[in-house]
């Protein structure tokens, strides 16, 4: 079963309070998304560590309910 964009956004914001999250359904199939996450808590972390935080917030759904997620992370300016 595919995930809806709002659920992805909710999970990320739940674990990364204050994050700005934008989700795009890349194919319109509910299986392939892009997430753009801006979060102050990323400051001082490598890109890999930033992505790990986002994936952790999805609570094991990557590869199951969520098939593909193109991820962009950034720190607020």
Q: Look at residue 68 and tell me whether its pLDDT is greater than 90.
A: no
pLDDT bracket for residue 53 (50, 70, 90): very high
State pTM to two decimals: 0.89
The domain segmentation of the chain, as residue ranges, is: 5-74
Q: How confident is the model over 25-42, as pLDDT tens digits?
A: 998 877 789 999 999 999
DSSP-assigned states of every residue in 20-64: EEEEEESSSSSSEEEEEEE-GGGTT--HHHHHHHHHHHTTT-BTT
Strand, helix or coil for residue 2: coil
Mean pLDDT of 64-72: 84
Task: Reply yes or no on domain 5-74 having CATH 3.30.300.90.
Answer: yes
């Amino acid at each position: 079963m595919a995930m809806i964009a709002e659920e992805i956004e909710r999970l990320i914001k739940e674990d990364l309070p204050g994050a700005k999250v934008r989700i795009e359904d890349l194919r319109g199939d509910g299986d392939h998304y892009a997430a753009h996450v801006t979060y102050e808590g990323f400051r001082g972390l490598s890109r890999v560590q930033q992505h790990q935080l986002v994936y952790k917030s999805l609570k094991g759904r990557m590869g199951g309910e969520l098939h593909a997620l193109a991820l962009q992370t950034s720190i607020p300016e």
